[in-house]
Structure 1
Amino acid sequence: MNNPFDLDDTASYQDWRRHKLSIAPKSTEDLIVEVNDPRALTPNEHAALTERIRSCNMAIYAGKMHDADTDIPRLLGEQFGLRHLDANWLAGEDGISEIRVFDNGTRQHYIPYTDRPIKWHTDGYYNPPERTIRGMILHCVRNASSGGENQLMDHELAYLLLRDEDPQHIQALMQPDAMTIPERVDDTDGVRAAQSGPVFSLDSSGNLHMRYTARTRSIEWKQDAATLAAVAALEAILASSPPHVFKARLEPGMGLLCNNILHDRSAFADDPTHPPRLLYRARYLDRISTIS
């Protein structure tokens, strides 16, 4: 069977590469679909979002609902086969997390719940394999007074650029011990065992998955020349702002629907005279279904 992600199948890779680049979006505007109610998409709205997911693993919906209601991302996700939420211990009772600044409690110790910037990553990179995050929704209820912009990149295009530079980079980052998140022991979340795994892997259907963080703390890269060269090359690609990186600042009612693509977040500031920035984050063990 042809497999574009097999390093020995150059012909399939070149065919996939040509097609991937031919359908890749050119701007952030190409990602956006205007919708009326994300909880109940029209056939045309669903088809437009599906088309973007197929081309670049992401879409941005611009809805008209500004309610603080976690049913918005939950019911949107169900329309794309997203049903198995990763109900991590910091999420709400319904498995969806409030991404906002917490000034006290456990969450204040984790960067997503602060106003600080977050480096390039895919979500759940510290999870064990049975809790691999494949799909994600970020829904904006309120934005910040300033900042809070995301950079977005299809992980398949990151793979493409890295493989074009040197296929050995891909081989190194597919090693099962390429990236390790060390054991964590503290008073708030107890013990989290060390978790090793590849950066690039394939699921049972042959879809490419990426597990990555640009953090330099609480991460250990395999200490061989090939892995370190591959990591440096990936960092250089992301730092070079390639044309496949899109910048987006979600406004109230907007959201990101994606197959756990690469993304970051700039620092932000809330206006003390207005309600603070609030996003809902739903992380799924499912990949988005693009079967119409």
Structure 2
Amino acid sequence: MTASPFDLANESGYRAWRDARLAAYPRSADELVVPLADPRQLTAAEFAALEDRCARANMAIYSAPHLPAADKSIPKELGRQLGLVRLEGNYLADEDGLSSITPADDAGSGVRGDFIPYTHKPINWHTDGYYNALDRRILGMTLHCAQDAESGGENDLLDHEIAYIQLRDVNPDYVAALMEPDAMTIPARMDEDNVARPEQSGPVFAVDPAEGFLVMRYTARTRSIVWKADAVTQAAVKTLADILASSEYLLTARLAPGMGLVCNNVLHTRSGFTDSPGHRRLLYRGRYYDRLRFPARAA
């Protein structure tokens, strides 16, 4: 079996992988965009174009503005063709498992308003489901734009493998610290019935033991999070935050109606936004326990 580039003892393998990843990585979100005639029925050429973007950046942006943007079958069927089938259902999601991300004052839901995604506020760097138990890791995600905001609502995006590279290049000990099983702890969330979600500790970076891909679990928020108190972990957290604030590899995208993101749960943000009656921002988000798959397809 080939030695993993994520093995800190495999410096030569890491260097070869690193150089190839950085050379191929897009320098603009425009390079991620793949026009699709019908996302629900991909052609071989469209499938190959999506595979190319995801191989380079662990993500792709699709565009199908000619179709009704509020059709939930678009992201769901697209995801299914890309191997995303185990959809996480959560108590804020819609009955079909997708989450309608829109400000709670627009949706008429007081419960959602307690959570930042359902407001007009900006969201800092994170991967989705960072508070999940390790056996319920979110590996894939879709984000489909049914309606954009009047202004704002952009997403900054960064492949988590690029963040790993930049951190390892500063100090491999920082990566080792963030791979410890107690590096990051999310305290229990309480509600009127006591514990709504138990405390969850885990690493920031982890390597899938079966397939060898890199998984990242991260949030830049400073509330409701406890970092391991040793000096090297604290330095690693600060360095990672500095990287996310200034990385030359950041990609900024503003999804328009009919556009969407498919990814292996890459790092992302959202800027604050304002709505108007004709532009009430609405995105459909899918979180999956699956990773994007691009098996060989018959010609």
TM-score (norm: length of structure 1):
0.97
Which residue of 2 is the match for residue 259 of structure 1? 264
Question: CA–CA distance in 2 between the matches of 1:188 and 1:205?
Answer: 39
Query: Does 2:33 correspond to 1:38?
Result: no
The within-5 A match list for 1:79-94 is 79-94=81-96
Partner of 1:20: 21
Cα pair 1:179 1:198 within 8 Å, conserved? yes
Q: Which residue identity is paired with 1:231?
A: V
Is 1:105 equivalent to 2:110 in the alignment?
yes
Identify which range, 29-38 or 208-217, moves more after superposition: 29-38
Report the residue type matching 1:60 in the other structure.
Answer: I
Per the alignment, residue 131 of structure 1 pairs with: 136
What does residue 159 of structure 1 align with?
Answer: 164
User: 205-214 or 20-29: which moved more?
Assistant: 20-29
> How much has 1:252 moved relative to structure 2?
0.2
The 5-angstrom pairing of residues 44-63 of structure 1 reads 44-63=45-64
> CA offsets per residue over residues 105-130 of structure 1, 9 Å max, x none?
21110000111000000000000012
Q: Structure 1 pair 67/24, CA: closer, same or farther in 2 (3 Å)?
A: closer
1:71 paired residue among 70, 73, 78 = 73
Specify the code of the residue in structure 1 equivalent to 2:54: I
Q: Which residue of 2 aligns with 1:206?
A: 212
Q: Which amino acid aligns with 1:290?
A: F
TM-aligned CA deviation for residue 33 of structure 1: 0.7
| 2: CA distance, partners of 1:224 / 1:6 | 22
Which stretch shifts more, 121-130 or 181-190? 181-190
Q: Could you say what secondary structure the match of 2:104 adopts?
A: coil
**Alignment partner of 1:238 is 2:244:** yes
CA contact 1:54–1:290 (8 Å) conserved in 2: no
**Matches of 1:249 and 1:268 in 2, distance apart?**
11
Q: When the two structures are aligned, how many residues end up with a matched partner?
A: 290
The 3 A distance-change label for structure 1 pair 105 and 60 is: same
CA contact (8 A) 1:141 1:252 kept: yes
What TM-score, normalized to structure 2?
0.95
**Is 1:191 the equivalent of 2:193?**
no
Q: CA deviation at 1:93?
A: 1.1
Question: Would the aligned equivalents of 1:133 and 1:283 in 2 still touch at CA under 8 Å?
Answer: yes
Please tell me whether the aligned partners of residues 137 and 258 of structure 1 are also in contact (alpha carbons under 8 angstroms): yes
The alpha carbon displacement at 1:67 in A equals 3.4
For 1:52 and 1:6, locate their aligned partners in 2 and report how far apart those are by CA, in whole Å: 25
Work out which of the residue numbers 222, 226, 230 in structure 1 matches 2:232.
226
| Larger mean Cα displacement after TM superposition, 68-77 or 138-147 | 68-77
In structure 2, C-alpha distance between the alignment counterparts of 1:4 and 1:87, rounded to whole Å: 33
Are the equivalent residues in 2 in contact too, given 1:163–1:170 (CA < 8 A)?
yes
RMSD of aligned alpha carbons: 1.2
Determine if contact 2:188/2:195 at 8 Å carries over to the other structure: no
Structure 1, 154-163 or 69-78: larger mean CA deviation: 69-78
**Structure 2 matches for 1:165-184, cutoff 5 A?**
165-184=170-189
Among 279, 282, 287, the alignment partner of 1:283 is 287
Q: Which amino acid aligns with 1:80?
A: L
**SS of 1:98 mapped into structure 2:** strand
Q: Determine if contact 1:106/1:188 at 8 Å carries over to the other structure.
A: no
SS of equivalent to 2:233: helix
